[in-house]
Amino acid sequence: MSRTPPSGVQSGYDVVIVGGGVAGLAAAWRTARRGLSAAVIDPSPGGGATHASAGMLAPVSEVTYTEEPLLRLGLASLAAWPAFRAELEDETGADLDYRTEGTLEVARGADDMAVLDDLAAFERTLGLRVERLTGRECRSFEPMLSPSVRGGLLARDDAWVNPRRVVRALLAAFEKAGGMLVNERVTGIDAQGPGAPRVRLESGGAVTAGQVVVAAGSWSASLLPGLPVRPVKGEILRLRGPRGFLTRCVRGLVHGSPAYLVPRGDGEITLGATTQEMGYDARVTAGGVYELLRDARELVPGITELELAETTTGFRPGTPDNLPLIGPAGPPGVLAATGHGRNGVLLSPVTADAVAAFLTGDEVPPVARFCDPGRFSQ
Amino acid sequence: MTDDVLVLGGEKFTSRLIMGTGGAPSLEVLDQALEASGTELTTVAMRRLDPESRGSVLELLRVRGIKVLPNTAGCFTAGEAVLTARLAREALETDWVKLEVIADERTLLPDPIETFDAAERLVADGFTVLPYIGDDPALARRLQDAGCAAVMPLGAPIGSGLGIRNPHSIELIVEAATVPVILDAGIGTASDAALAMELGCDAVLLASAVTRAHRPGLMAAAMRQAVTAGRLARLAGRIPRRRYAEASSPARAS
């Protein structure tokens, strides 16, 4: 699947996408499907933030005061997911482990329940669908929940997917559509001068293209200086247990921090996630693992019997307002598709459609107006 | 009122509202809240950030010219707190520290013995120490005698928004104070901040009441005005409380 270009300058692509995470690959696939010749450059596609991601498609339960534009963007992308998934599965024969049983957000004490009731009231004013459940009702949905769960909210419209399968399927679909994967590290982008835009490779070669899309996650600022994106470290765990241990995404506030458990069809459960501004410190800390296990155990005591299969660190591409950066990024022919924070998987369909529209000069989806990379300098 | 400045650790501050950064949904919202608060001093948790990283909270404070007050949140022992303060001094080139040593995760109440132990060591090491403590007048006196630059009693547990549960203790701390008293933790809304200042506190430190409000920028503006209002009321001197009415325009002039 992987190819390395010969040394020297390669040319002839309509579009080069720098970064093969879920956002870059989704954009690449949609671009190739529109008949443009496209290459994705990434030393290990899907190896960045996507590899750590839990894959929640949960704009309803993750809604936050002050972040209504992000909600609108998330809802638009959630609505695009069923068709995106069906097309991707049809084309590749993959099973994305796409699940639609919703999110169950639980509270253990009266204080936390008051927070959830406040959230539910906010969600209803926004027209979102949430059901208030008693503790017993929560436990009838998810018998593994702690008896200390006092009540909860069920957001039936939330979904989730296995992000690692999504990346594999997107790669296959992209190559099937005629796209080229280049397993190389990009060291820079020449935005000026003859042949620009030109993408420089670590091996010494270079690739020119009609247009370049920078989808390098938190590393995008090193390619486009001044782009307001920064690494937000997250630690996440994967447990292996029996199938059906949990059937929904379970979330809850524990000691004021949000904890979540995301079950897969094969019995794996993803526990997340810490949030730290620690630059590119990729270490998994003892405290991080302890806190994730402690908080998840408060919600679902039985997890301590499961196998701790994996500890992972990822770097969410964070922006000042938590909205992504999608669109022309300054230099002619250079676009950004990054800054998705903790929402890269959710926002991939809408990102892909917006990038493909920018590249082909078509009408850009209306919600993409929230994502102009130049919005902070205005 | 421009001459009414807060002198803390030998530095002068016009604003008497000290902000924390925890709990903000985004950097942009935090930035708007900091601007609206008018704060000149803001505390950041050293254990949750890397001073070198770009585009983080520290950069935001630098751009706004707000002095950084590193804190030792998350420490349970004097040893951890001293280590964290030293790392912060090295990384941020400041010898100021908000000393916070927590007794347990459920209440997040400060541990008085670990706090005192750490305070003594940090003062001896040349730090400007601002300890977070319970509303305990005896401990407050011991800490100011030990050389702390301020004392920071709580109004109520961190993040609880319960306001000032024991105004009498705060008054006793203020009465005996030889260093600034900063009400730290428990503020839920603007009237709590005003009350702290009316009780004679020199400043108020808060985070959640603003960062977790529905509209953080608006609440920050409210806190700024509340702190100013409470300070002015304190300086003006309130009338005594009476059981019965007293005509505001007496028949006989005194």
Tell if the CB–CB gap between A229 and B31 is shorter than 8 Å.
no
Cβ within 8 Å, pair B55-A278: no
CA distance A298 to B89: 36
Domains of chain B: 6-236 (3.20.20.70)
The residues pairing with A276 across neighbouring beta strands, listed in sequence order, are: A233
Please tell me if residue B31 touches chain A, with a CB cutoff of 8 Å: yes
Q: How many Cβ atoms from other residues are within 10 Å of residue A221's Cβ?
A: 23
pLDDT given for residue A334 in this prediction:
95
Q: Which of residues 102-131 of A touch B (CB under 8 A)?
A: 122
What are B129-187's pLDDT values in tens digits? 999 999 999 999 999 999 999 999 999 999 999 999 999 999 999 999 999 999 999 99
Among the listed residues B89, B98, B224, B231, the single catalytic one is: B98
Contact partners, residue A24, CB within 8 Å, separation at least 6: A17, A18, A40, A42, A213, A215, A216, A337
Q: How far is CA B13 from CA A357, B7, B99, in A?
A: 52, 6, 20
| Interchain CB contact of A190 with B (< 8 Å) | no
CB proximity A243 to B under 8 Å: no
pLDDT of residue A12: 79
Q: Where are the beta strands (DSSP E) in chain A?
A: 9-18, 38-41, 56-57, 103-107, 131-134, 151-155, 159-160, 180-182, 186-190, 198-201, 206-214, 230-240, 249-254, 257-263, 268-272, 307-318, 325-328, 334-338
pLDDT digits (tens, 9 = 90+) for B237-250: 999 999 998 888 77
Mean pLDDT over the full length of chain B: 93
Q: Output the CA–CA distances (angstroms, integers) from residue A89 to A23, A93, A94, A95, A344, in the order listed.
A: 17, 5, 5, 6, 19
Kindly report whether the peptide bond that precedes residue A197 is cis, defined as omega within 30 degrees of 0.
yes
Contact A140, A152 (CB under 8 A): no
Predicted-assembly ipTM surpassing the 0.90 threshold: no
| The dihedral sign for the CA sequence B152, B157, B162, B167 | negative
The reported pLDDT for the residue numbered A2 is 44
Q: How sure is the predictor about B51, in pLDDT bands with cuts at 50, 70 and 90?
A: low
* Number of neighbours of residue B243 by Cβ within 10 angstroms: 4
User: What single letter denotes the amino acid at residue A234?
Assistant: G
Q: What is the pTM of this model?
A: 0.89
* Separation of alpha carbons A167 and A272, rounded Å: 20
Indicate whether B7 pLDDT > 50.
yes
CB A50 within 8 A of CB A247: no
Say whether B49 and A278 touch across the interface (CB within 8 A): yes
Over residues B86-94, the mean pLDDT reads 90
pLDDT by residue (tens digit) across A236-245? 999 999 999 9
Question: Does residue A332 contact residue A347 with C-beta atoms inside 8 Å?
Answer: no
pLDDT for residue A257: 79
- Better-predicted residue by pLDDT, B47 or B52: B47
**Other beta carbons less than 10 A from residue B246's beta carbon:** 8
Catalytic, B12? Answer: no
Residue B222 predicted with pLDDT over 90 = yes
pLDDT of residue A1: 42
B178 in Cβ contact with B167 (< 8 Å): no
- The per-residue pLDDT for B54 is 65
Q: What is the DSSP letter of A155?
A: E
Domains belonging to chain A, first-starting first, are: 9-51+164-229+321-377 (3.50.50.60), 103-156+230-318 (3.30.9.10)
| Residues of chain A below pLDDT 70 | 1-10, 378
- A276-291 per-position pLDDT tens digit: 888 898 999 999 999 9
